[in-house]
Structure 1
Amino acid sequence: MSYASPAVPAPPRPRTPAPELKAPLVGGGTWSLSEQSPAAFTMVVFYRGLHCPSCRNQLGQLDSRFGELTAMGVQPVAVSADPVERAEHVRTGWGVREVPVAYGLTVATMREWGLFVSRGSNPQEPEFFNEPGLFLVKPDGELYYAAITNMPFGRPPLDELIGGMSFVLGSRYPARGDA
C-alpha cells in the first residue's frame, strides 16, 4: 500500500513574510506572531511534543538561557500540536518556567511553516505531530532564519544560535537563502 503525500504549500523563504501563527498558551491567553514586538527576533521553536525526550532537553536549555535571549532582544516561544493537558505537563513536568508554551498546532499550520509532519507510531505519540523546526522572525514579520529537520535529532545547538545571533545583530548581516 502506498501513501500519497498531500499537496504541500511551499515553505516560507528568508526575506519574505513569515506565516501567521496563533496558538493558545498554557496558563491562558493566545500567542500570536503578529502581536510580537521583539527588539531583534521572535524565536519560534516548534517541538514534537511531550513524547519527545530530545524536545525536553531542547526546551530545558532554552528555558535556562531565557534571560540571556531576552537581553539580546530575542523573544522565544515553544509550540507543538499537543493538546492542553500534555502542554501543561511540559510546563510543570519538564520545568519550563520562562519560555511561553503554546499548543494545539494544526497540520495545516505545520505545512504552512514547511515542517515535516509525522504519524504516531506508538501509543505515546499523537496521531499526527510536527517534527522540529526553529525560526527567527524579525520585528517586521520577515523571516530571517529557518532550521527544519525530519527527525528528533539535528537541531541547531543553542550556543551556536546565540553566537550567530550576536554576530548578525552586531554586523547587520543579511538573511541568506532567498535566491
Structure 2
Amino acid sequence: MPTPKPVADSILAPMSFPRVGGGEITVGGDTENWTLLIVYRGKHCPRCKKYLNVLNNMRNDWTDAGFDIAVVSADSLEKAQADQTEFGWDFDLGYGLSEAQMDQLGVYVTDPLSPAEADGRFAEPGTFVLRPDGSQIIVAISNGPAVRPDLSELLDGMIFNKTNDRPARGKV
C-alpha cells in the first residue's frame, strides 16, 4: 500500500536517529528553533554530496536565520561517518533512517540496483521545514536524485515566511 503524501501544516511526530559522533538527532514536536530536515539517499549518491556541500557552505546563513539543521539517510554509521570525514560537513548528520520513519515522512523508497549501490532500501530525497511547534511548512519530496529545492531560494523564502508569519501552502 503506498504511503500517503505528507500533509502541509500537519505536526510531524517526534522522531530520532543516531548522530555521527554520538548522541541522537530529534526532529518534530516542540523545539526552540525552526528546523531544516534533509533526507538524502546515502553514500552512493554523488548528487547528494553536491547538495550537502552547498548546504554545508550555507550552514551559517541557516543558523543565523534561526534554523537547526538535521540531515539523515538510511546509511550505516560507517558510511555516514566516511562521508562526513571526506567532505568535512559541519551539520548534524544522522544515519539509520528506518523504513517506518521513511513512511512517517512520506518519502519515496527505493530498492538498490545492486549491493554496491546500497545495503538495503533507502529514501529518495526529501526537504522539510518545520516550525518550532513541529508543523510542516515545507514538504518537498522527490522520487529521484535530480530534483531538490534550491537551498538559497528556500532560505530566502523561509526568512520571508518567518518574518511575515505566512501559513503553509497546499492545504486544499
- In the superposition, the TM-score normalised over structure 1's length comes to 0.90
- Counterpart check, 1:102 vs 2:94: yes
Q: Following TM superposition, by how much is the alpha carbon of 1:9 offset from its aligned partner in structure 2, in angstroms?
A: 4.0
- The aligned residue for residue 109 of structure 2 is 117
Once residues 61 and 36 of structure 1 are traced to their aligned partners in structure 2, the CA distance between those partners, rounded to angstroms, is 28
Number of residue pairs aligned between Structure 1 and Structure 2 = 171
Identify unmatched segments of 5+ residues in structure 2: none
**Cα RMSD (Å):** 1.4
- The aligned residue for residue 77 of structure 1 is 70
- The aligned residue for residue 135 of structure 1 is 128
**Secondary structure of residue in 2 paired with 1:65:** helix
Matched-pair contact (CA < 8 Å) for 1:24–1:30: yes
- Counterpart check, 1:32 vs 2:26: yes
- The aligned residue for residue 93 of structure 1 is 86
Identify unmatched segments of 5+ residues in structure 1: 1-6
Matched-pair contact (CA < 8 Å) for 1:23–1:31: yes
- The aligned residue for residue 3 of structure 1 is none
Once residues 92 and 43 of structure 1 are traced to their aligned partners in structure 2, the CA distance between those partners, rounded to angstroms, is 22
- The aligned residue for residue 23 of structure 1 is 17
CA 1:136–1:83: 2 relative to 1, 3 Å: same
- In the superposition, the TM-score normalised over structure 2's length comes to 0.93
161-170 or 142-151, larger mean C-alpha shift: 161-170
Identity rate of aligned residues, in percent?
33
- Aligned pair partner of 2:8 in 9, 14, 18: 14
Amino acid at match of 1:164: G
- Counterpart check, 1:148 vs 2:145: no
